[in-house]
Amino acid sequence: MNSNQAKTSRRRLLAAFAGTAVLTAAPVYSKASGLIRHAGDVRRISMRNQRTGETLDTIYWIEGEYIRPVLDEISYFMRDWRENEVISYDRTNIDILAASHSLMETSEPYLLLSGYRTPKTNAMLRSRSRGVASNSFHVKAKAADLRLKSRSVSQMAAAALACGAGGVGKYYGSNFVHMDSGPVRTWRG
């Protein structure tokens, strides 16, 4: 077996293993911005959905390649649960969420409050709250509202800002942080 065949076999093995394995050690990155620029050998995301009770703890990127079936699982997990609609969730935002989580050095999974939203769901939420944007990145499957018991809103926002990619909203009253893969910006909700 030549080195290219060995590398391909290793990737196939790791990809097959990633869907079923639960590793205890999270990847460590020296700089979050390096992760956003595709640094590191393995990327993982761990979340629990507040509304559906579903959990997700998976490796989605190995040695420079996204694992397509795992991205599909993440898209399903991030779906609009009210409409049960799934669209492809933005890879860059997955990277931002994973990098931020790694920087906070916690094994606690994110609590997902909101991922993708259909235009219908976003309009309904907008009618109930002035804090919901009409052109929300949630509608583009490029945003997530998240909470951690072990970290404050300020700590979560600081980790997201350290990634140097996307928008970060701090919602102290509701105890969550909005992270998206749009332009770099910050606000307080």
What does the pLDDT read at residue 35? Answer: 52
Taking residue 170's Cβ as centre, other Cβ atoms within 10 Å add up to 20
The torsion region of residue 77 among left (phi > 0), alpha (psi -120 to 50) and beta comes to alpha
Q: What angle do CA 46, 47, 52 make, to 5 degrees?
A: 150
The Cα angle at residue 49 between residues 104 and 189, in degrees rounded to 5:
65
Closest CA to 7 of 69, 58, 68, 65: 65
Q: What is the pLDDT of the chain when averaged over all its residues?
A: 83
22 in Cβ contact with 57 (< 8 Å): yes
pLDDT band at 19 (very low <50, low <70, confident <90, very high): very low
Percent residues over pLDDT 90 in the chain? 68
Closest to 142 in 3D by CA, of 115, 122, 160, 123? 115
User: Structural domain boundaries of the chain?
Assistant: 3-188
Full-prediction pTM beyond 0.85? no
Encoded amino acid at 179, one letter: M
Q: Which CATH class is domain 3-188?
A: alpha beta
pLDDT tens for residues 109-164? 999 999 999 999 988 887 887 777 778 999 999 999 999 999 999 999 999 999 99
Is pLDDT above 90 for 24?
no
